[in-house]
Amino acid sequence: MILYLDTTKGNKIEIALREGNMILVQKEFEAKYSQAEKLLPEIKKMLAEKKIKLSAISEIVIANKSGAETGFTALRIGVVIANALGYGLGVPVRGLGKKTRSKRFSQFDVIEPIYNKNPNITEQKSQTVH
């Protein structure tokens, strides 16, 4: 069974379970600024609704290339969760971007996020309270 994760759609997350060519369940939900809090509970809920054990997952597929609406944090959260689940379950993790495997962590079969542009990091000036 394949677990699919996609956090590249801006404020929405898509998750799905597939067995062979058949999609068993697919969900999309809002997660603006709360991807880290919502993704794992939604995976757990989806598995429970279909009465599927986490150990039934044999592969994880993650959309790891950012699009125009993707935030850096949302993409990283999806990739980190996919890598952590893959490592914990001992199953392969496959990215849907062009560059997938990290050479730095090859013994762990880690997928890296692929960003479509450089980060736009702005400096926030602290305000002094008198």
Does the predicted TM-score (pTM) go above 0.75?
yes
* Other CB atoms within 10 Å distance of the CB of residue 118: 7
* Other CB atoms within 10 Å distance of the CB of residue 62: 28
The better pLDDT of the pair 75, 25 is held by: 25
Question: DSSP E strands: which ranges in 20-124?
Answer: 22-30, 59-62, 93-95
Fold of 2-108: Nucleotidyltransferase; domain 5 (3.30.420)
pLDDT tens-digit map of 14-48: 999 999 889 999 999 998 878 888 999 999 999 99
